[in-house]
Structure 1
Amino acid sequence: MTADMHLPPIAPGKLPLLGHTLPLLKDRLGYVQRLRGYGPMVRLAIGPKSMTVINSHELLQEVLTRQSQHFNKGLLFDKLKIFGGDPLPVSEGKKHLNRRRVMQPALHREQVKGYMDTMVDTVEPFVSSWHDQDTLDVCNEMQLMAQGVVMSALFSSNPERGSAQEILHSVDTVFKAALMHAMVPISALERLPTPGNRRARVANTVLSKAITGIIADHRANPDAHDDLVSLLMTVQDETGNNLADDEVMGEITALLAAGSETTAVTLAWLFHELGQNPELERRLHEEVDSVVGEGQIGIEHIPQLAFTRRLIDETLRLHNPAWILTRRAISDVRIGEFDLPAGTDVMWSPYAMHRDADLFPDPLRFDPDRWLPERPQPPRGAFIPFGVGKRMCIGDQFSLTEAVVIAAYVAARWRLRPAPGSDVRPIPEITVHPSSLRMVAENRQHAVAGTAV
């Protein structure tokens, strides 16, 4: 049974029930978008269980803000408790609030300004290693750059490219496994010696070793670093003791995954869109050239790169990395006209919501100018690239600054053209990433004089 089936009108307070085929579908993204046609809420059967899908941005606001005390992070985030402890993205209640208060200063807007030089210094070797007419795996390049920025700025770690690639692959493998376990919530399957489970265990070992090395270096040289890891090592838990290594490891892993994957995927989609639209690319180059010139990008340039920021916002809308997110009701709660009993698993899709024609005119068109202040804006709560409420992403300012820096740094030096025969499709896994994004790098300094670049 799929979401294409005809359903009778929904009686007040009743939810339509659909057979759940999401883990098996090839067109998962189309499926979650079609679900929006069944009204503000719909239930999906998962064997003996069910998942309630929220399609209404107004009802989602209730869940994430006004009624948030009735929900925890839910099924997807349960499966992300894979490194010991309860890191910030999955912790609950007072523990989450206390941990967020401790970590927030390191990711505050003002503190992020201090990371600018580190961001630029980290990105420069990657971009300088490209050669004119190189065919690049753009998604992988963006992932390595974004991961490098997080590790350098927040962990004072700068692994060489081979080790960085191994860490990147391990994060990807472990989180893919966690997502699949959330989509097929049968605990016995997680213990079977399947190829996927074996790969996840190997990747977990590699990742744990890398992060243990970062912690060990900070313990051996406590005065050498002033970063987020140093801060975590001074945090006290609810008993008054310093965090155990597995707690610190969990926080580092969560920040590494969240801070690398979403920013990198956003940038990959951005350069894909620019490759399809030379006029938008020209405007980006023109802005970067006029604002930054031939010097190094600095924090003073960020507010002036307004078109660059609109490009990023539009990429976050059309290609939102999050295709499913979850919550679970921990007490009986009424959302709109619907009663959700305690234990109800809730899901929503920012990706599908951001492509809803009722919320965004001409939603499949990549139009950065829709974010100009004189243009009509979407209703409150319809555009939530970093979430909303008390669980809003703690690193939103870091991520946005990082994205502007990388986009501008690359655009100042290169054009990225689609490789011949490329077929780019969205793949919903940890995030909605390109199936394959191979692009040819053209050095702008080698362009023929007088040619628009």
Structure 2
Amino acid sequence: MYEALEVARDGLGPVFALGFGRFRPIVVASPEALREALVERRGAFFWRPEGDPVARLFRRSILVTDGEEHDHARGVMLPAFEPAKLRGQAAALLAIVEDELGRWPRDGRVEVVEAMRRIAWRGFERVFFGYDLGEAELRQTLPGLLAALRYIGPGMWVLRGRAGPPPRGVAPLENHVRRVAARRAGRGGEGEVLLDLLARVFDEERVRDHALTMLIAGHDTSTAQLSWALHLLARDRGWLARATREARSVAASDLAGARPEDLPVIDAVLKETLRLWPPIHVGGRRAGPGAAIAGYELPEGRRVMLSYFLVQRDGAIWRRAREFDPGRWLGGGSPPVPYSYLPFGGGPRNCIGAQFASLEGRLVLARVLQEFDIAATRRPLRGAMGATLEPRGGRLRVRRR
């Protein structure tokens, strides 16, 4: 799909229409048009069509609602994402990473997406739910999580124009979220986490909507980012050597306090990974009354796809646009033009978890490189558009130091 979008953009320009059955979106792929949709004309674009699987699964959550309802929910959640509060969770995140890396072979192969999903999932629940997800419960709940990811990803609903109800297979995950929320009921104080903030303001069903949304979105994006970063490094010996030297120059006991400037190469690797393979590669909207973009008037209700992927790989904007080059971010490197780099979206609705993703990515990548030598296998690697844009087909060879 992403290759077809690149061909369409090259032939049709930065704003074009697609047609797949009843799925007929307008694709937006220029920085100027993205600025219009995300900031200047934000009020003319609504977040999710009601028939999307995301809207059907997450109901009235922060990811689905607009206007005051969305802004209120975001305001309730923001304290859980304050940078100082997140840094205070670094040691807990590292403990999970240590536990998971202890399961890797001393000399063998690792399915990266599966390994990173475990770390990201356990890390998210520990930081934002205040919950230590054990092995038995993880295995019991995993089928529900995977069912949810399949449901909200591209599927036959794209051709039909509307998704059916969430499948029964999602129930183990939903039941898990409800159980964890019930266990947190009445807690708070100094150790307050996201679930506590939600429970203080919303009823049980809205807590379910927000918590389920944040768990799926928060862990799946980190899974994709970390998986791509490891695969890209394993395929570039020069940058792998630089990132490995940097990681090993910091004591494991000091990683919890490391900031982006302490690990500039690893920070650059993560930024470049997000440029080439943004987990949320497209922002879905629908046109409201009077909506227009790049001078084009849009029919009310028309789907609009804000393609961060296409803009971040546009050769007219970026030098060596399709090459993995973390060096473009070193020494104060920045995007060539505003709104040409939006892995966390942009405007007032940018990703609330961007700071957490940066912290988690830095800790996980550094700790993997401290403990293991990694190399690519010969299996071909490709991108797959599911709930996020993640790598498929490749494994890593790993050898413990």
TM-score normalised per structure 1: 0.83
Paired with 1:431 and 1:342, the residues of 2 have a C-alpha distance of 27
Give the counterpart of 2:2 among 17, 29, 47: 29
Check whether the contact 2:287–2:303 (CA below 8 A) recurs between aligned residues. Answer: yes
Question: Larger Cα Rg: Structure 1 or Structure 2?
Answer: 1
1:253 paired with 2:212, answer: yes
Judging changes above 3 Å, is the alpha-carbon distance between structure 1 residues 108 and 182 closer, same or farther for their aligned structure 2 residues? Answer: farther
* Aligned twin of 2:114: 140
How big is the alpha-carbon RMSD for the aligned residues of Structure 1 and Structure 2? 2.2
1:305 deviation in Å? 0.7
Residue of structure 2 equivalent to 1:304: 262
Contact in 1 for aligned 2:45/2:291 (Cα 8 Å):
no
Which aligned pairs between 1:419-430 and structure 2 lie closer than 5 A? 419=377, 421-430=378-387
Q: What are the Cα deviations for residues 125-144 of structure 1, in whole angstroms up to 9, with x where unaligned? A: 00122231132111110111
SS at match of 2:255: coil
Partners of 1:43 and 1:51 within 8 A in 2: yes
In the alignment, structure 1 segments of 5+ residues that lack a partner are 1-27, 192-199, 236-242, 445-453
Distance 1:84 1:287 in 2: 41
Matched with 1:380 is 338
| Distance in 2 (alpha carbons) for counterparts of 1:222 and 1:70 | 38
Aligned counterparts of 1:63 and 1:416: Cα–Cα separation in 2: 41
Give the equivalent residue in structure 2 for 1:449. none
Matched AA of 2:64:
V
Q: 1:318 to 1:84 in 2, by over 3 A?
A: closer
Q: 5 Å matches for 1:80-95?
A: 80-83=54-57, 85-95=59-69
1:211 alignment counterpart: 177
Aligned match of 2:148: 174
Question: Relative to structure 1, is the Cα distance of residues 77 and 102 closer, same or farther in structure 2, using a 3 angstrom cutoff?
Answer: farther
User: Are the counterparts in 2 of residues 83 and 246 from structure 1 also a CA contact under 8 Å?
Assistant: no
- The residue type equivalent to 2:319 in the other structure is P
User: CA contact under 8 A between 1:218 and 1:225: conserved in structure 2?
Assistant: no
**8 A Cα contact 1:41 1:52, kept in partner:** yes
Letter of the structure 1 residue corresponding to residue 184 of structure 2: H
Does structure 1 residue 263 correspond to structure 2 residue 263? no
> For the structure 1 residues 77 and 375, does the alpha-carbon distance in structure 2 shift closer, same or farther, using more than 3 Å as the test?
farther
TM-score by length of 2: 0.93
Residue 177 of structure 2 contacts residue 208 of structure 2 at CA under 8 Å; is this kept in 1?
Answer: yes
- How many percent of aligned residue pairs carry the same amino acid? 23
Whose RCO is larger (CA < 8 A, sep 6+)?
Answer: 2
CA displacement 1:35-82 (0-9 Å, x = unmatched): 212113112234466311112221111011010011111338842133
Summarize the alignment of residues 95-114 of structure 1 with structure 2, pairs less than 5 Å apart: 95-114=69-88
Question: In 1, are the aligned partners of 2:22 and 2:160 still within 8 Å (CA)?
Answer: no
Report the number of matched residues.
Answer: 399
- Cα distance, 1:228–1:48 mapped onto 2, change above 3 Å: closer
**Residue identity opposite 1:435 in structure 2:** R
Does structure 2 retain, via aligned residues, the 8 Å contact 1:314–1:368?
yes
Unaligned runs of 5+ in 2: none
Which residue is 2:235 aligned to?
276
1:401 aligns with 2:387: no
Q: Match of 1:161?
A: 135
Question: Does the CA-based 8 Å contact 2:229-2:273 persist in structure 1?
Answer: yes
Q: Would the aligned equivalents of 1:117 and 1:298 in 2 still touch at CA under 8 Å?
A: yes
Match of 1:333 among 264, 269, 291: 291
Amino acid aligned to 1:232: L
Q: Which moved more, 1:374-383 or 1:266-275?
A: 374-383
**Worse-matched range after superposition: 404-413 or 130-139:** 130-139
Match of 1:357 among 315, 318, 326: 315
Secondary structure at the aligned position of 1:184 is classed as helix
Aligned residue for 2:219, secondary structure, equals: helix
Question: Structure 1 residue 276: deviation in Å?
Answer: 1.1
How far did 1:85 drift?
4.3
1:371 aligns with 2:329: yes
Larger mean Cα displacement after TM superposition, 261-270 or 218-227: 218-227
8 Å CA contact 2:58, 2:212 repeated in 1? no
Q: Aligned partners of 1:181 and 1:91: how far apart in 2?
A: 24
CA distance in structure 1 between the aligned counterparts of 2:397 and 2:99, rounded to whole angstroms: 18
Distance in 2 (alpha carbons) for counterparts of 1:121 and 1:442: 21
